[in-house]
Amino acid sequence: MMNPSIEILQHPSGPTVIYRYMPPVPAAREEGVLLIPSAPWDTMRLSWFYRQCCEQLTKIGYHVYRFDLRGTGDSPYPTADQDPVVWLRETEAVRDSLRSQVRRLHAVGPRFAGYLAALSAESYAYRSLHVIDPVLNLAAYSDELDRIQNRFLAEHNRFGSELRTDAEILGFPKAMFHTLIPAELTGIKVKTKRVFLYLSPSFEPPERLITLWYDQEREVAIVRTSDHFSWSDPSALLQQCFCRDTLKQLIHQLEEV
């Protein structure tokens, strides 16, 4: 099997760079997968997962698209420009720009990216929506990151207090999660008919959200994986999360959709 070719697309309305991973021609579908980036502290840990998604999904015929949120990765903006409200607008703008590229579009998002994926699905009917251990409450997510950082610095004082300011989480500016509405994923209705929730062993099914989508006559599939994300472990923030079983389950579901 040939390796996927990569093309860089310049977003028509701004400097956001979109990377397109193209499948070998014989395997090509008229469908694409948008990999929505998570907040920087999650994306650092999930770089292997994103990379493998690009490679594995092209092998089964998908065009795969990814980009970096403002102030992260290869974004031309400084880290100080990180803003979750802008991140949502960027996600929606990239999504809309891909309508001319593929006939149908699927969306994938782990953790905070799952929140962005669901929010972007309020105004767009993806072919299918795949969210992985999604952030359910933005205030709780911000508090969780604070607690993990405090524990990490307390246990690793050799790094020194100069690495911590009240405005930073692991060197990144604290995103203003309270500016995003709604503050809870359980209030988000989606236009997408088929929704897949991938949940690790420590993640309890979000019953309110599932009930909301069932009431909306969405097809909701709960996919249990054996991966242990260890989000509450302070040392885990500096460890790579490979998510091999989650990737295997995701590939299987997208082969069947």
pLDDT at 224: 95
Question: In terms of DSSP bridges, do strands 219-224 and 168-169 run parallel, antiparallel, or are they unpaired?
Answer: unpaired
pLDDT at 10: 62
User: Based on the structure, what is the number of domains in the chain?
Assistant: 1
Read off the pLDDT band of 206 (50, 70, 90).
Answer: very high
Q: Could you report the per-residue pLDDT of 96-128, keeping only the tens digit for each?
A: 999 888 999 999 999 999 999 999 999 999 999
> Within 10 Å of residue 207's Cβ, how many Cβ atoms?
9
pLDDT at 1: 40
Rounded Cα–Cα distance for residues 144 and 185 (Å):
16
Please state whether the peptide bond connecting residue 205 to the residue before it is cis, i.e. omega within 30 degrees of 0.
Answer: no
Residue 2: pLDDT above 50?
no
Residue 43: pLDDT above 50?
yes
Looking up residue 180, the CATH number of its domain turns out to be 3.40.50.1820
Whole-model pTM?
0.90
Read off the pLDDT band of 3 (50, 70, 90).
Answer: low
pLDDT at 230: 62
Q: What is the per-residue DSSP string for 144-212? A: HHHHHHHHHHHH-GGG-GGG--TTEETTEEPP-GGGSSSSBGGG---S-SEEEEEE-TTPPP-HHHHHH
Structural domain range at position 191? 5-256
Pick the more confident residue, 194 or 77. 194
- Strands (DSSP E) along the chain, which ranges? 5-10, 17-22, 31-35, 63-67, 104-110, 129-132, 168-169, 172-173, 194-199, 219-224
Read off the pLDDT band of 39 (50, 70, 90).
Answer: confident
Give the full edge-to-edge strand order of the sheet including 17-22: 5-10, 17-22, 63-67, 31-35, 104-110, 129-132, 194-199, 219-224
Q: Could you report the per-residue pLDDT of 150-200, keeping only the tens digit for each?
A: 777 777 665 555 556 667 776 677 767 777 888 899 889 999 999 999 999
Rounded to 10°, the helix 244-256/47-59 angle is 30
